């Protein structure tokens, strides 16, 4: 009965017209609708990259919000080619962040850029998103920035009983990222979440010395047992907590982190340096290993930057910074035997290892920043000149580490050659510097500075003066950071071009099907990808590449200071009430 009834109804003129119309529409849809591979991603099958994400339009602030961007910018000069280069860096960010959103969305921490999978390796609070907020703002991606605030509100700082937030990384990446994004946008939710996180991390300081433990459970306040800590881990939280103390008017935030500075003042050695480990029960340094590299780097950075961040009001920090820098330049900086390359290394019991870390390439930028900003009442003219020379020589070597390699990428660690015919003390830069002075300064600059030879030609058997100890490039920002600061402080366009040369190699050699990855084998023309894209690639490396290409400096050093994760924090002044309540010296 059903079939004849359906058949008879289909033969009516009105039904025939409707049916024909339906077939036409169906044919149109089949022809013109995107295929499933264009709109959907099948995570269970072979990965096909999605189309590039759109370039988000700039966010338009309400009429009552003052746009003071122009007041903060310093003209660096440039041409149309640099404008195009800056745009290309923005496209790189959109590609990397778009892949994170597609394959490792919040609350995942980082993207695995080879397998297109995700990982929760830093608390599971959306690390790449938080670390990228101020980069979005800098690149003019204000719409994307404001979209991300929805996820900032959703961050759950709770943890399972067996979990611990690594104090150092959580402070510089999460707390620094939230505070910088707040300083740039004035969005209240960012400050609210920053203060909440700052509170949850405070139990880390509950030790006899007041120095923080390695990890803290943000739910229970339980800390991870640790008898000793690295120098970098205990003395790289002051910028974030002091700025938060200023914003929230919290004496406890200031006093917790400044107590560590008290220990450093009391334990600074006659040569100005501290060992790389501290006993957190007693607050005393341990051992005789000295370094500016991975175990100590940001602690030296924060001595100067705390002083600058609070409007040069905590003067004792500037003095211990200068004493430390002078000691490092005297004890840890050497000249290579053939090419006269200046390099900085670590030392055990006063014996240098001749290892030169990529992480140490932040150091020339720090020296240049100090030489630019320290007042004459603290730094002498001679010290300023020596620091500038060291900055130039070390930055040049950091660039050479990239330019020498077939891949164009710098190695994680190299070991410099030792001239066994010469005592190691006579390879020290200060020995060469003093000899140069005694000779009446026969050249415009001392040995190790202003080296004209350039990189070893590709395929050459010439002596590089070093061997690759760890041939990975981990998407690190330190050399780009120093290229930017050297260009900003000297106005010499060579630093800008060198920085861009490095960036082009990064873009070309670390690019995967969906994003960018750490690589190994920088001594080859085709390094191999590793399944890692650290959040700092978006927070730091891309940011410094953009700043190198930008014709203006939106973060001049008299108005903004970068934390060690490249999160810009605005220079502020302690109020009279805060100086009294916080007992600031």
Low-confidence stretches of the chain (pLDDT beneath 70): 1-78, 459, 461
Residue 278 belongs to some domain of the structure = yes
Residue 74 belongs to some domain of the structure = no
Q: From the annotation, which residues make up the binding site for Ca(2+)?
A: 564
**pLDDT value of residue 43:** 22
| Co-location of 370 and 518 in the same domain | yes
Q: Are 304 and 316 in contact (CB under 8 A)?
A: no
Q: Whose structure tokens read 């330019």?
A: 403
**CB 312: neighbour CB atoms within 10 A?**
17
**pLDDT value of residue 463:** 86
Q: From the annotation, which residues make up the binding site?
A: 564
Q: Are 247 and 191 in contact (CB under 8 A)?
A: yes
Q: Tell which residue, 153, 169, 161, has the closest CA to residue 109.
A: 169
**pLDDT value of residue 42:** 27
| Co-location of 562 and 543 in the same domain | no
E strands, 336-438, in order:
342-344, 347-348, 351-352, 355-357, 413-416
For the CA atoms of 342, 348, 349, 352, the dihedral, rounded to the nearest 10 degrees, stands at: -20
**pLDDT value of residue 454:** 87
> Which one of the listed residues 109, 169, 346, 540 is annotated catalytic?
169
Residue 274 belongs to some domain of the structure = yes
| Co-location of 352 and 256 in the same domain | no
Kindly report the length of the chain.
585
Residue 350 belongs to some domain of the structure = yes
**pLDDT value of residue 585:** 74
Host domain of residue 245? 157-311+557-585
**pLDDT value of residue 66:** 35
DSSP state of 50: P
Residue 182 belongs to some domain of the structure = yes
**CB 275: neighbour CB atoms within 10 A?**
18
Per-residue b/e over 436-449, b at no fewer than 16 CB within 10 Å? beeeeeeeeebbbb
333: part of which helix (H) or strand (E)? strand 333-335
**CB 40: neighbour CB atoms within 10 A?**
10
CA distances from 391 to 225, 231, 371, 423 (A): 39, 23, 9, 25
Q: Are 518 and 537 in contact (CB under 8 A)?
A: no
| Co-location of 397 and 472 in the same domain | yes
Q: Burial-class residue 392 by CB neighbours within 10 Å (0-12, 13-18, 19+).
A: buried
pLDDT tens readout for residues 157-182: 999 999 999 999 999 999 999 999 99
| Co-location of 171 and 269 in the same domain | yes
> Which one of the listed residues 478, 481, 553, 565 is annotated catalytic?
478
| Co-location of 220 and 289 in the same domain | yes
Q: Are 362 and 469 in contact (CB under 8 A)?
A: no
CATH of the domain at 301: 1.50.10.10
Residue 15 belongs to some domain of the structure = no
In this prediction the pTM is 0.86
| Co-location of 542 and 565 in the same domain | no
| Co-location of 478 and 569 in the same domain | no
Residue 145 belongs to some domain of the structure = no
Residue 23 belongs to some domain of the structure = no
| Co-location of 269 and 243 in the same domain | yes
Total count of domains within the chain: 2
Residue 110 annotated among the catalytic residues of the structure: no
Residue 169 annotated among the catalytic residues of the structure: yes
Residues 585 and 583: their CA atoms lie apart, in Å, by 6
Residues 279 and 25: their CA atoms lie apart, in Å, by 76
Residue 187 annotated among the catalytic residues of the structure: no
**pLDDT value of residue 280:** 95
Reduced to 3 states (helix: H, G, I; strand: E, B; else coil), residue 516 is: strand
| Co-location of 546 and 561 in the same domain | no
> Which one of the listed residues 101, 195, 412, 565 is annotated catalytic?
412
**pLDDT value of residue 77:** 57
Q: Sign of the CA dihedral 85, 91, 92, 94?
A: positive
| Co-location of 346 and 279 in the same domain | no
Please list, in sequence order, all residues whose beta carbon lies within 8 angstroms of the beta carbon of residue 438, skipping any fewer than 6 positions away. none
| Co-location of 227 and 95 in the same domain | no
Residue 412 annotated among the catalytic residues of the structure: yes
């Amino acid at each position: 009965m059903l079939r004849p009834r359906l058949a008879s109804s289909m033969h009516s003129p009105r039904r025939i017209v409707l049916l024909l119309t339906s077939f036409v529409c169906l044919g149109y849809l089949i022809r013109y609708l995107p295929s499933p591979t264009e709109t959907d991603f099948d995570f269970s099958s072979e990965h096909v990259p999605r189309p590039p994400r759109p370039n988000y339009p700039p966010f338009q602030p309400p009429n009552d919000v003052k746009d003071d961007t122009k007041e903060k910018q310093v003209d660096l000069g440039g041409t149309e080619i640099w404008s195009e280069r800056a745009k290309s860096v923005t496209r790189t960010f959109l590609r990397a962040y778009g892949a994170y959103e597609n394959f490792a969305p919040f609350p995942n921490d980082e993207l695995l850029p080879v397998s297109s999978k995700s990982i929760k390796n830093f608390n599971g609070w959306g690390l790449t998103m938080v670390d990228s907020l101020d980069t979005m703002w800098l690149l003019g991606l204000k719409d994307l920035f404001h979209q991300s605030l929805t996820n900032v509100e959703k961050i759950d700082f709770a943890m399972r009983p067996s979990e611990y937030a690594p104090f150092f990384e959580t402070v510089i990446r999460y707390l620094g990222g939230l505070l910088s994004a707040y300083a740039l946008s004035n969005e209240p939710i960012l400050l609210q979440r920053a203060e909440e996180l700052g509170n949850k991390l405070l139990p880390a300081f509950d030790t006899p010395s007041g120095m923080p433990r390695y990890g803290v459970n943000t739910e229970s306040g339980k800390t991870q047992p640790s008898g000793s800590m690295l120098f970098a881990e205990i003395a790289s939280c002051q910028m974030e907590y002091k700025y938060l103390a200023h914003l929230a008017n919290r004496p406890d935030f200031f006093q917790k982190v400044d107590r560590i500075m008290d220990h450093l003042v009391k334990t600074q050695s006659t040569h100005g340096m501290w060992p790389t480990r501290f006993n957190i029960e007693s607050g005393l340094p341990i051992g005789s290993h000295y370094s500016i590299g991975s175990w100590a780097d940001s602690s030296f950075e924060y001595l100067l930057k705390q002083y600058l961040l609070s409007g040069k009001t905590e003067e004792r920090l500037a003095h211990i910074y200068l004493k430390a820098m002078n000691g490092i330049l005297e004890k840890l900086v050497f000249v290579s035997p053939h090419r006269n390359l200046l390099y900085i290394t670590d030392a055990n019991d006063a014996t240098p290892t001749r290892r030169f870390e990529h992480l140490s390439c932040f150091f020339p930028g720090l020296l240049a920043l100090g030489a630019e900003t320290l007042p004459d009442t603290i730094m002498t003219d001679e010290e300023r000149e020596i620091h500038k020379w060291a900055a130039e020589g070390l930055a040049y070597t950091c660039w050479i580490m990239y330019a020498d390699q077939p891949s164009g990428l710098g190695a994680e660690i190299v070991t410099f050659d030792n001239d066994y015919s010469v005592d190691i003390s006579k390879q020290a830069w200060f020995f060469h510097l003093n000899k140069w002075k005694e000779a009446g300064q026969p050249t415009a600059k001392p040995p190790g500075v202003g080296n004209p030879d350039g990189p070893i030609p590709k395929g050459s058997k010439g002596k590089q003066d070093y061997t690759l100890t760890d041939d990975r490039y981990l998407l690190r920002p330190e050399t780009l950071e120093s290229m930017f600061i050297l260009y900003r402080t000297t106005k010499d366009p060579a630093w800008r071009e060198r920085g861009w040369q490095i960036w082009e190699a990064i873009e070309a050699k670390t690019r995967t099907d969906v994003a960018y990855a750490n690589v190994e084998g920088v001594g080859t023309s085709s390094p191999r990808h590793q399944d890692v894209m650290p959040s700092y690639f978006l927070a730091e490396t891309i940011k410094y590449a953009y700043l190198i290409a930008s014709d203006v400096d939106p973060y001049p050093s008299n108005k903004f200071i970068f934390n060690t994760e490249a999160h810009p924090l605005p220079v502020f002044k302690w109020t009279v009430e805060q100086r009294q309540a916080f007992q600031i010296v």
